[in-house]
Every structure is written in structure tokens, then in C-alpha cells.
């Protein structure tokens, strides 16, 4: 480490600087930030290679601190995940000051995320990539700076879903709807969205060390594209909600979001059109108390320009998603 620099990862309480991170794992070459339990990661590794990779991307994880430091640098290795690029969004005192996007690489990269001419007390927040795996080697601030963790909001929010919940294809990780929603509701976020995922009972960990007040569930579009029938999806939704309400979600209000509009939604698959399939999901979920069904087709206008590929929202699409979901919740 360079003279005059302090690596926060060398402090015993370094975990306190992160939100949305269930655990950290020291690999042979760096520190990995995890938003899933070891049991969940093991399940993904045994079941689906793509899910295993995407579940290791640090979507929704933030570094939050108060500090007098003039500079803050990261040393990281960016490994391919859902995409071959990664973004870091930086806020200082609530204002976005940097949006850095870099390609994945085998080498360690140094990123200067904060660079100020004068020392003063600042609140610094860095949103980690939703699209790639981050191996963290150092978080460096000035050695004599007073640096403390930011207190987490009192209420907790768990986001369950597929690639749209993970944040694909926002240009920066802070644009993902779950991150934006957590900010406007002033809640702590744990984002367990996994690209390509479906209503999957086996992916739940009944002993998740997180006790949410709010849960959003946003699956279905991949179930539909996999030719799941309406009878099958009704059964899956019923069993999924029953299990969740008895375990992780027993003290939470659950919002089940039916699938967003997608460009191919008028195709007739085994489950009918996407609208018919979504209606079955909503009708099944509506039979549960403390579950609010949100019509996903109303969250993002049905305009191709608001979708990067006909499925995943753009940054503007995610803004519509956030504001309309906020209205449904509040």
C-alpha cells in the first residue's frame, strides 16, 4: 500500500461499510462480495451455470461512508458476469459525481472514484456493478482521514426476481429499479435478482439472515418463454408464496409484480400470450393475504424506445418502473 493511504479492507469492521451484502469471502486473490447465502450459491452452481455466475455479481451492493478524505480509490479485478462490462456509480452528499464504466479484465485495475482539492466531511456512496463479478483488493482513503460507516435505514427491502431485478440493461447500477426504489422509500436493499431466473422454490433459503419489511417478487417472463403452462405456473406461484410467507417473508408485506410488457408478448406459447400468462400469476397471488398484486404491464409504457432489447428497460424505462412501483407501494 502506498504511503499516506489507508486500506479500509484491513480494518476489522470493514463489513460495516457495505449495504446489500450478506457476506464476504476471501479468495486466493481478492475479496468477493455476496448478496446470496452460501446455500443459495451452492444451489445455483449445481443447477445452472448461468445463474451461478450472475448470482455472484454484486447487484445492489453499496459502499457507504462518512469521511474527510479528499480521495477514494478502489483496486479491483472485474470478471465477466452477466455482461463483459461493469459500472460504478458514485454519489457525494447525495449528488452523482461519477459514473464509471469499464470492461472486464484479468488484471487488477485502479479506479479513482473521489478526487477533491479540499478535505471536508462528506457522505460517499458507491453502487457496485450489477453486470459483472468484482474481486476487491483495496478501498483506499487518506491515512489521517476520519472515516466511519453510514447508519443503515431502519426498514429492509428484499428484491426477488430475474435479470430486470438484477438491473439489466441499465447503463449504471444505480439506475436499476430496485436501487432507485430503495432510495426513494429510504429502505435498506438486499437485491437477490438473478438473470434468467424463474419461480424457483429451491432457490429460497429459509434461514436467510435478513428480515425484510417489504418484498417485491418479479418473475414470470422467463417461465413464459420456457413454455410453462398456466396450470404449472399457478402451482409454482402458490407453492412459492406459501413457502416465502412461512419463512423469510412472515413479517413482510409482499408485492408480486406480474411481467413487464415485452416485444414478443403477443406470441402464443404453451401458457398462452404473455398477458394471459401474467393474468394467471396475478389471480393466484391475489388469493393470499398480505400480498399485493401489481400489474407489471402498467409499470413501463409499451414503447420500444424504453427497452434496450424488447425485454430489458433502458435507464429511462427503469425510471418509469421505479416511479410507478413507488405509487403502487405507497
Ordered domains of the chain (ranges, CATH): 5-149 (2.60.120.260), 156-329 (3.40.50.1110)
pTM over 0.95: yes
330 pLDDT band, cuts 50/70/90, is confident
132 pLDDT band, cuts 50/70/90, is very high
Higher pLDDT, 3 or 152: 152
Task: Encode pLDDT of 282-302 as tens digits.
Answer: 999 999 999 999 999 999 999
Task: Encode pLDDT of 221-276 as tens digits.
Answer: 999 999 999 999 999 999 999 999 999 999 999 999 999 999 999 999 999 999 99
Instruction: Look at residue 1 and tell me whether its pLDDT is greater than 80.
Output: no
What per-residue confidence (pLDDT) applies to 98? 94
Of all residues in the chain, the percent with pLDDT exceeding 90 is 94
Instruction: Look at residue 154 and tell me whether its pLDDT is greater than 70.
Output: yes
What per-residue confidence (pLDDT) applies to 162? 98
Instruction: Look at residue 2 and tell me whether its pLDDT is greater than 50.
Output: no
pLDDT (mean) for 82-103: 94
Task: Encode pLDDT of 166-218 as tens digits.
Answer: 999 999 999 999 999 999 999 999 999 999 999 999 999 999 999 999 999 99
Q: What is the 3-state secondary structure (H, E, C) of the chain?
A: CCCCEEEHHHCCCHHHHEECCCEEEECCCCEEEECCCHHHHHHHHHHCHHHHHHHCCCCCCEEEEEECCCEEEEEEEEEECCCCEEEEEEEECCEEEEEEEEECCCCCEEEEEEECCCCCCEEEEEECCCCEEEEEEEEEEECCCCEEECCCCCCEEEEEECHHHHCCCCCCHHHCHHHHHHHHHCCEEEECCCCCCCCCHHHCCCCCCCCCCEEEEECCHHHHHCCCCHHHHHHHHHHHHHHHHHCCCCCCEEEEECCCCCCCCCCCECCECHHHHHHHHHHHHCCCCCEEEECHHHCCCCCHHHECCCCCECHHHHHHHHHHHHHHHC
User: Is 130 within 8 Å of 167 (Cβ atoms)?
Assistant: yes
Amino acid at each position: 500500500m502506498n504511503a499516506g493511504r489507508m486500506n479500509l479492507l484491513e480494518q476489522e469492521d470493514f463489513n460495516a461499510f457495505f449495504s446489500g451484502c450478506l457476506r464476504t469471502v476471501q479468495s486466493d486473490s481478492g475479496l468477493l462480495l455476496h448478496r446470496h447465502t452460501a446455500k443459495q450459491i451452492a444451489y445455483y452452481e449445481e443447477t445452472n451455470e448461468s445463474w451461478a455466475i450472475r448470482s455472484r455479481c454484486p447487484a445492489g451492493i453499496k459502499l457507504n461512508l462518512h469521511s474527510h478524505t479528499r480521495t477514494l480509490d478502489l483496486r479491483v479485478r472485474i470478471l465477466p458476469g452477466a455482461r463483459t462490462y461493469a459500472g460504478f456509480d458514485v454519489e457525494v452528499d447525495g449528488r452523482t459525481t461519477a459514473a464509471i464504466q469499464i470492461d472486464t479484465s484479468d488484471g487488477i485495475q485502479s479506479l479513482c472514484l473521489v478526487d477533491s482539492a479540499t478535505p471536508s466531511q462528506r457522505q460517499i456512496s458507491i453502487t457496485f456493478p450489477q453486470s459483472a463479478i468484482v474481486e476487491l483488493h483495496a478501498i483506499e482513503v487518506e491515512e489521517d482521514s476520519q472515516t466511519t460507516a453510514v447508519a443503515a435505514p431502519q426498514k429492509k427491502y428484499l428484491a426477488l426476481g430475474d435479470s430486470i431485478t438484477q438491473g439489466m440493461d441499465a447503463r449504471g447500477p444505480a439506475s436499476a429499479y430496485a436501487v432507485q426504489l430503495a432510495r426513494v422509500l429510504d429502505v435498506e436493499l438486499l437485491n437477490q435478482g438473478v438473470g434468467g431466473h424463474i419461480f424457483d422454490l429451491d432457490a429460497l433459503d429459509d434461514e436467510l439472515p435478513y428480515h425484510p419489511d417489504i418484498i417485491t417478487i418479479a418473475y414470470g417472463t422467463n417461465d413464459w418463454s420456457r413454455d410453462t403452462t398456466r396450470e404449472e405456473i399457478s402451482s409454482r406461484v402458490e407453492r412459492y408464496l406459501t413457502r416465502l410467507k412461512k419463512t423469510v417473508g412472515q413479517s413482510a408485506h409482499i408485492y408480486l409484480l406480474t411481467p413487464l410488457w415485452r416485444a414478443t408478448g403477443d406470441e402464443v406459447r404453451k401458457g398462452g400470450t404473455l398477458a394471459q400468462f401474467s393474468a394467471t400469476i396475478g389471480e393466484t397471488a391475489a388469493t393470499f393475504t398480505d400480498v399485493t398484486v401489481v400489474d407489471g404491464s402498467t409499470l413501463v409504457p409499451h414503447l420500444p424506445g424504453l427497452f434496450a432489447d424488447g425485454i430489458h428497460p433502458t435507464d429511462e424505462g427503469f425510471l418509469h418502473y421505479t416511479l410507478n412501483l413507488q405509487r403502487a407501494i405507497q
